[in-house]
């Protein structure tokens, strides 16, 4: 098992720098994580579980901040969003891929999502706005750890986008159709 202690400390320091007067939400207990995983039908990526259990239940991170896993201060929770997306779009071209948990709402229907079935915790960008379900899923970061490194270091695509940079370098996620069919 990977030790995420150093990365969690860096995430915590960055979160405190971002919002010194508004701490992130209190972390979940292991029972809370277990209950969420039972509802989802899959285990969280270990780093994601560590963040929700050892640091905070959302309320920090880039832009609109991490969703609460369940309960918590955000109006939208990751577990509920996943279950709704799976139910609402089942059997359609927009079917939500199994095991892909939305963790951050970028606005305008866009989400940062973690592929909890991948060993690395690949972070995906769901971008439905062009209106083509075959071109809605992109690989944001090859791993959840790298995605959080981008947050800590202020090097994510979201920073470049704010600076007006054109972002055509994200590769499409090749597993989208196969995983949505499950």
Note down the domain range covering 150: 5-180
Contact 47, 123 (CB under 8 A): no
pLDDT band at 39 (very low <50, low <70, confident <90, very high): very high
Contact 152, 145 (CB under 8 A): no
Contact 47, 145 (CB under 8 A): yes
Mean predicted confidence (pLDDT) in 122-130: 94
**Mean pLDDT of the chain, nearest integer:** 91
- Which pLDDT score, from 0 to 100, does residue 6 have? 95
- Which pLDDT score, from 0 to 100, does residue 167 have? 63
Distance CA(144)–CA(102), nearest Å, equals 12
Domain count, the chain: 1
Q: Which two tokens stand for residue 139?
A: 């690989």
**How close are the terminal C-alpha atoms of the chain, in Å?**
28
Query: Roughly what angle, to the nearest 10 degrees, separates helices 5-18 and 144-153?
Result: 40
The pLDDT tens digits for 1-23 are 578 999 999 999 999 998 877 77
Q: What is the CATH number of the domain that holds 14?
A: 3.40.1580.10
- Which pLDDT score, from 0 to 100, does residue 160 have? 80
Closest CA to 55 of 36, 33, 74: 33
- Which pLDDT score, from 0 to 100, does residue 73 have? 62
Contact 44, 73 (CB under 8 A): no
Give the number of other CB atoms < 10 A from CB of residue 92: 10
Percent of the residues in the chain that have a pLDDT greater than 90, as a whole number? 69
Angle at 28 between CA 26 and CA 30, to 5 degrees: 150
The pLDDT tens digits for 64-107 are 889 999 986 666 899 999 999 999 999 999 999 999 999 999 99
């Amino acid at each position: 098992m990977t030790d995420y202690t150093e990365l969690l400390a860096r995430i915590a320091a960055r979160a405190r720098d971002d919002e010194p007067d508004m701490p992130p939400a209190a972390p979940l207990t292991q029972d809370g994580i277990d209950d969420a995983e039972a509802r989802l039908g899959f285990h969280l990526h270990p780093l994601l579980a560590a963040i929700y259990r050892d640091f905070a239940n959302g309320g920090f991170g880039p832009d609109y901040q991490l969703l609460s896993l369940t309960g918590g201060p955000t109006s939208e929770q990751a577990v509920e969003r996943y279950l709704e997306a799976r139910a609402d779009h089942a059997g359609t071209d927009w079917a939500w891929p199994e095991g892909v948990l939305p963790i951050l709402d970028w606005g305008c229907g866009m989400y940062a999502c973690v592929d909890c079935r991948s060993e690395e915790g690949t972070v995906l960008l769901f971008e439905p706005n062009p209106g083509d379900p075959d071109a809605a899923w992109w690989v944001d970061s090859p791993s959840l750890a790298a995605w959080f490194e981008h947050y800590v270091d202020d090097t994510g695509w979201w920073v470049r986008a704010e600076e007006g940079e054109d972002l055509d370098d994200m590769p499409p996620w090749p597993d989208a159709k196969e995983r949505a069919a499950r």
